[in-house]
Amino acid sequence: MRWLMGLAVLLALARPACATEQELELLVGGRATLATLRTPASMGPDTPLIVMTHGTLAHKDMEVIQGVAKALEQRGIASLAHTLSLGLDRRKGMYDCATRHDYVVDDAVAEIGAWVTKAKSMSRFVFTFGHSRGGNQVARYLAAGETPPVAGAVLLAPVTAKAETDLRASYAQTYGKPLEPLLDKASKAVAAGRGGEWMDAPGFIYCRNAVVTARAIKSFYAADAGQDTAALVAHLKLPVLALAATKDTVVPDVAASFASLAASSGGGVQLDKIEDADHFFRDLFAEDVADRIVEFIKQTR
C-alpha cells in the first residue's frame, strides 16, 4: 500500500502544469451571462487573451468557437468565449425557436464590453474575435468608442452588407410571405414607443412561425449603416484581421467586401483567405484560423 502512495506522489510531482478550462458567469444589464475561459499552462498577465463572440442564435460551445479556442490554447493563447444572452438568463446551446424573441443586434455591444473588461483584469493583451454576425457585433462594439479598448480584432467570416440585403430579399421565398408588411408594422410600433409589442411572424432569422417583439424585427430586418462591417472597420483605430473562407456559401463576399479596405489601409486592416474552408471552419480549418491569429498577434505586439 505504501508503494502505491509513493507512486502517486511521484506522478503528481512529475505531472506538468496543465491548461485550464472553467465556466464564468457575469451579470450584464440584469441578465446572467456565461463564458468559458481557456488558459494555457503558462498563463500570465502578458499572455494574449481573446474574447470570442459567436454567430446568429448560436453559443460559446459551438464547434467553430471551441475548435479555434482549443487550437489557440495549444499555441499559448488564452480565450474567453461568451454566450450572448439574447434576453435570457444563463443561456446555453442554440436559441430555441419556440421561445419568444425579444432582443436587438446592439444588445451584444454591452455584453462584449463587459467580457472585455473582465478579460483585461486577467491580461494586458486583450483581443476581440467574432464569427459571422458576431463579427459584425464586435465591429459595432469597437466603433461605439473613440479609444480602442483592445489591442486588435479578428473577424472570422463576418456578416456583410450584401449578406444582410440578401437575407431581406429572400424572406418571401423562405417563409412564403413578404417581409415588407411585417417590417412596416414593426417599425411603426417602435416609432410609437411600442417596441415591446409582440407580433406573430412567418419567420424570424432561422425560426419559422416565431413570436417576436417589434423592436427585434426592426433591428434585424431594417436596413442600417451598422450592417456594413467593412465600413465600420474602416473607421477603427486598431489592427483588424478579416478572415474569409473560400467555400463560404453563407457569407460568400467577405473577401470582396474587405479587399479595397485592406489594400488602402497601410496594413491596419489585413485580409486573409482560408482555402477550401466553409463558413464554419471545421476540423483542421480551425488550426489554420489559429495559425493566422497567432501571426496577427505577433505583429501587433
How high does pLDDT run on average in the chain?
Answer: 93
The enclosing H or E element of 240 equals strand 240-245
Domain final position from 189, 224, 259: 224
Mean pLDDT in residue range 152-181: 97
Residue 7 maps to a domain: no
pLDDT: which is higher, 40 or 18: 40
pLDDT of res. 18: 67
Domain final position from 208, 224, 240: 224
pTM for the model: 0.92
Residue 10 maps to a domain: no
Choose the weakest-confidence range: 2-11, 124-133, 270-279, 292-301: 2-11
Residue 9 maps to a domain: no
Residue 13 maps to a domain: no
CA dist 80 and 48 (Å) reads 11
Check whether residue 207 and residue 196 sit in a common domain.
Answer: yes
User: 215: domain range?
Assistant: 161-224
Check whether residue 195 and residue 293 sit in a common domain.
Answer: no
Q: Report how many domains make up the chain.
A: 2
Cβ atoms of 84 and 56 within 8 Å: the answer is: no
Q: How many CB atoms are located within 10 Å of the residue 235 CB?
A: 9
Paired with 258 in beta bridges are none
Check whether residue 169 and residue 263 sit in a common domain.
Answer: no
Check whether residue 87 and residue 201 sit in a common domain.
Answer: no
Say whether pLDDT at 287 is over 50.
Answer: yes
Check whether residue 153 and residue 181 sit in a common domain.
Answer: no
